[in-house]
Amino acid sequence: MKLALGTVQFGQSYGVANKVGQVSAADAKAILEYAASNGIKLLDTAISYGESEQRLGEIGITDWQVVSKIPAVPDGCGDISGWVSESVRSSLQRLGVPRLYALLLHKPQQLLGADGGRIYAALQKLIENGLVLKIGVSIYAPGELDDLYQRYKFDVVQAPFNLLDRRLIDSGWMSRLADRGAELHVRSIFLQGLLLMPPHERPAKFNRWQALWSGYSEWLRAAKLTPLQACVRYSLSFPEISRVIVGVDNSDQLRTIVEAAGGPMLVFPGALQVHDCDLLNPSVWATL
């Protein structure tokens, strides 16, 4: 099963389409139980996701593969290896697991700074000590890999990808990562829920792309696909992608995603794919 479960909603309110806030403990447990029963084996979390790690540990996830992320190493840190090790050990304690499947850097640009070599060596030491199986980076745009891969090698790369976002493909990094044996985990396949919203619920600040939304709706009607089916099947259709991370607010949402995954995916028209980072990067939406 290529689907993986994102857990940011377990620790905090997240997403432009989120109407319920942080997922309750009972709903989080029900989501994990449904996921496990349908062959989903990998969880994606992070130290910065509020209470996510602690919530997962309370539920019990010893049978899962867990990917977590550490934030930026503090400026002026005198013992980078010690700081990284302590961060991961604290994360493992909250999660209640002996090791991570993968540890990713949330701020990989630090690897290009003066302390980059020491940070990378600290990550490798985690593998040697049996605390993590794989190391990698979480990026916002494939262009970040141009400089990073000149100096380092990664086991896992997590990046945004969806119907509208061809940057991984057009940059060549989707195929290059596969050639280099790195796992590609993709997130934001619903663009924080924006691609699933009916037109009357879409925030007005996205009206500047009205022509795109009209074309998207017309294609969905012609293809006889729901937005959910199109988003899920598109991401799952690429053999270079190892995991497709989805976040949900309840087990019913996960059920609909699993059901939507079955079936054919028609070719998505290139004319509807965009390069406008104002739309593709949710971190700038607050300024729109």
pLDDT in tens, 32-42: 999 999 999 99
Q: How far is it, in rounded angstroms, from Cα 198 to Cα 182?
A: 36
Q: Which residues pair with 42 in a beta bridge?
A: 65
Query: pLDDT, tens digit, for every residue of 152-210?
Result: 999 999 999 999 999 999 999 999 999 999 999 999 999 989 999 999 999 999 999 99
Tokens matching residue 220: 């969905």
Confidence grade of residue 278 (pLDDT, cut at 50, 70, 90): very high
Spatial contact of 163 and 273, defined as CB atoms under 8 Å apart: yes
Tokens matching residue 58: 């309370």
For the chain, percent of residues with pLDDT exceeding 70 = 96
Q: Which residues pair with 4 in a beta bridge?
A: 245
- Which of 12-16, 83-87, 129-133 is least confident? 12-16
pLDDT at site 9: 87
Q: How far is it, in rounded angstroms, from Cα 15 to Cα 24?
A: 16
Q: How many helices (H) and strands (E) does the chain have?
A: 12, 8
Q: Which element (helix H / strand E) includes 247? A: strand 243-247
Q: Give the residue-averaged pLDDT of 228-241.
A: 96
CA distances for 170 relative to 141, 145, 268, angstroms: 12, 13, 15
Q: Would the pLDDT of 226 be above 90?
A: yes
Q: Give the residue-averaged pLDDT of 211-224.
A: 95
**Count of residues for the chain?**
288
Q: Would the pLDDT of 15 be above 70?
A: no
Which comes out higher in pLDDT, residue 240 or 17?
240
Q: Where exactly are the structural domains of the chain?
A: 3-287
Say whether pTM exceeds 0.85.
Answer: yes
Q: Give the residue-averaged pLDDT of 245-250.
A: 94
- Map 82-151 to HEC letters: HHHHHHHHHHHHHHCCCCEEEEEECCHHHHHCCCHHHHHHHHHHHHHCCCEEEEEEECCCCCHHHHHHHH
Spatial contact of 47 and 280, defined as CB atoms under 8 Å apart: no
String of b and e for 150-167 (b: at least 16 CB within 10 Å)? eebebbbbbbbbbbbbbb
Q: Give the residue-averaged pLDDT of 122-141.
A: 97
Q: Would the pLDDT of 14 be above 60?
A: no
- Which of 8-12, 38-42, 117-121 is least confident? 8-12
CA distances for 99 relative to 17, 31, 62, 65, 127, angstroms: 33, 22, 10, 9, 10
pLDDT at site 18: 39
Which comes out higher in pLDDT, residue 16 or 178?
178
- Which of 11-20, 172-181, 239-248, 273-282 is least confident? 11-20
Query: pLDDT, tens digit, for every residue of 47-93?
Result: 888 889 999 999 999 999 999 999 999 998 999 999 999 999 999 99
CATH of 3-287, one of 3.20.20.70, 1.10.10.10, 3.90.180.10, 3.20.20.100: 3.20.20.100
Confidence grade of residue 11 (pLDDT, cut at 50, 70, 90): low
Over the chain, what is the mean pLDDT?
93
pLDDT at site 17: 43
